[in-house]
Amino acid sequence: MSFKVAIVGATGNVGREMLNILEERGFPVSEVVALASRRSQGTEV
């Protein structure tokens, strides 16, 4: 079983840390939606 996950504020410190934790723990994710403000448009996460 895998999950669809949305990270709000993905370009901020907390959002980036959440992405790292999901990866480190091998959380079963089928899709990640990274949400951020327009100001962060084009920023790679």
In the prediction, which pLDDT does 40 show? Answer: 86
Where is 5: in which H helix or E strand? strand 3-8
State pTM to two decimals: 0.79
Q: Has residue 45 been placed in a domain?
A: no
In the prediction, which pLDDT does 42 show? Answer: 86
Domain range enclosing 24: 3-40
Q: Has residue 33 been placed in a domain?
A: yes
State how many domains the chain has: 1
Map residue 41 onto helix, strand or coil.
coil
Residues 1-45 pLDDT 10s: 999 999 999 999 999 999 999 999 999 999 999 999 998 888 888
Q: Has residue 9 been placed in a domain?
A: yes
In the prediction, which pLDDT does 4 show? Answer: 98
In the prediction, which pLDDT does 34 show? Answer: 93
Map residue 1 onto helix, strand or coil.
coil
